[in-house]
Amino acid sequence: MKILVLNAGSSSHKSCLFDLGQGTPDGLTPNPIWRAALDWTHQPGFVELTAAREAGESVRRSLPITDQADGISAMITTLVEGPTQVVDSLSEIDAVGHRVVHGGQDYSHSVRVTEAVKAAIRDLIPLAPSHNPANLQGIEAIEAILGDIPQVALFDTAFHARMPEAAATYPGPYAWVEQGIRRYGFHGISHQYVAQRAADLLGRDIASLKILTCHLGNGCSLAAVKGGMSIDTTMGFTPLDGVMMGSRSGSVDPGILIHLMRQEGYSADQLDTMLNKESGLKGLSGLSNDMRVVVEAMDQGHPQATLAVEVFIHRLRREMGAMIASLGGLDVVVFTAGIGENKSLVWQRACEPFEFLGLRLKDGELGRTKDDQDIAAADSRVRVLVIHTQEEWAIAQACVALLQPVA
Ligand code: AMP
């Protein structure tokens, strides 16, 4: 079975092809046989197309393409032509799985794409204006290129869609509840994958575990996973809420925004840019949204970089504490995504305050390993796992599960 996965974003797309042979390998995550990406941020009027086979051959081209559908078409062509060819014909592809950012309250599971599902993704555009249109265009582009192929949508909100009302509701006027202004949560595909992977690695039933998952990449969010369900999370109505991120502020006093509007005449668009693109590690350090750059500057004594890292850690610990309170206990902490998978400084500093819970990391140097790892000391009452998030594989698995005939 060959499954194409498409992660269509506002200014870049990523795609990969899994070849699952006669079935899915038990407990193993196969590598995609082909990967490709489109990036419109390099040069106005051009898209940078990169594609690579697992075997090693790759291409990189700058193409005069501005239309997303044309870009996807060029990307898909590298599956059947040139040095990155991995299939003889596109008809060999059995299904396409899409990551869709917003599924609202109605989609708590992955679904086969139908006209009704497309309409729902369209209706949710006001809640995810920079993501859902790209996701929908991705689905429509595949329809145009591959015809009537089964397509599956996985929503980044789905894992959080059954959060208790008290966790999902903002304490504004009740009209907000009626208007759908609530905590939706994001990164759900990743939180769900790493929580299940943690249970599998520990040989435990996820139903018996209280897991705190920390997805720390460019975007950062935490989730409280109890009995396999997300019962609380830090991102909210939008992916701006919660912990500090690469260029996003995370939670700030909403009074600051009112102040800036009244005193400085800020418009909604200016606030949007400030909070999403000019805040977080980038805003405070004045250097970069990349943790590697900021930590390096901190090590050289850069005061703003030091402040940025200290605030990042402080905010992370605070929100970890909040998630642990929601869980009412803690069996496992998982770190994942770019920062979470790599930065031992963050593991150590984030975990320090929770020693009173019996959480203790291994002594000595900790660092990234090729495989997922348990970094807790043998006698720690809480396991601490570093898990490589595999969102694309989770999407491919959901396709297989949805498309397998019911016995
Ligand atoms: P992601 O969104 O998961 O791709 O994560 C991207 C972010 O992870 C980057 O902006 C960096 O801040 C961070 N990152 C990636 N690799 C490393 C690394 N080796 N060490 C520290 N941070 C990293």
Q: Which domains does the chain have, with CATH numbers?
A: 2-155 (3.30.420.40), 206-386 (3.30.420.40)
Least reliable range by pLDDT among 15-24, 50-59, 98-107: 15-24
Mean pLDDT over the full length of the chain: 94
Mean pLDDT, range 256-266, rounded to an integer: 97
Question: Mind listing the pLDDT tens digit for each residue in 96-109?
Answer: 999 999 999 889 89
- Determine which residue's CA is closest to atom 22 belonging to ligand 1: 339
Q: Residue 237: name the closest of 394, 101, 100, 389 by CA.
A: 101
Closest residue CA from atom 14 of ligand 1: 338
Of all atoms in ligand 1, which is nearest to the CA of residue 337?
Answer: 3
**Cα(32)–Cα(20) distance, integer angstroms:** 9
The pLDDT value given to residue 368: 86
Distance 246 CA to ligand 1 centre (A): 9
**The pTM is what?**
0.94
123 given a catalytic annotation: no
Which residue minimizes the CA distance to atom 20 of ligand 1?
A: 342
pLDDT bin (cut points 50, 70, 90) of residue 247 is very high
Residue 22: which pLDDT band, with cuts at 50, 70 and 90? Answer: low
- Read off the pLDDT of residues 182-234 as tens digits, 9 standing for 90 and up: 999 999 999 999 999 999 999 999 999 999 999 999 999 999 999 999 999 99
145 Cα–ligand 1 center, Å = 34
Residue 27 predicted with pLDDT over 80: no
What digits encode the pLDDT tens for the residues 363-381? 988 888 889 999 999 999 9
Supply the pLDDT for residue 331.
98
User: Tens digits of per-residue pLDDT, 114-168?
Assistant: 999 999 999 999 888 888 999 999 999 999 999 999 999 999 999 999 999 999 9
Contact 154, 394 (CB under 8 A): yes
d(CA 172, CA 350): 31
Q: Are 221 and 234 in contact (CB under 8 A)?
A: yes
Q: Which residues pair with 111 in a beta bridge?
A: 153
pLDDT of 24 strictly over 70: no
Render 333-394 in DSSP notation, one character per residue. EEEEHHHHHH-HHHHHHHHGGGGGGT--BPSS-----SS-EE-B-TT-SSEEEE----HHHH
User: What is the number of other CB atoms lying within 10 angstroms of the CB of residue 346?
Assistant: 20
Average pLDDT, integer, range 351-372: 93
Sign of the CA dihedral running 108, 113, 117, 122: positive
* DSSP state at residue 243: S
- Ligand 1: distance of its center to the CA of 241 in Å? 20
Determine the length of the chain: 407
290: exposed, middle or buried (Cβ count in 10 Å: 0-12, 13-18, 19+): middle
Choose which residue among 194, 213, 218, 281 to substitute to test ligand 1 binding: the one with the highest number of ligand atoms within 8 A of its C-beta.
218
d(CA 161, CA 180): 12
The pLDDT of residue 25 is 59
Catalytic one of 19, 39, 156, 232: 156
Mean pLDDT (whole number) for 307-330: 98
Lowest-pLDDT choice from 26-35, 221-230, 242-251: 26-35
pLDDT of residue 11 exceeding 90 = no
Pocket probe for ligand 1: among 298, 339, 344, 390, the residue whose CB has the most ligand atoms within 8 Å is: 339
Q: Do residues 158 and 184 lie in contact, with contact meaning Cβ atoms separated by under 8 Å?
A: no
Neighbours of 61 (CB within 10 A): 13
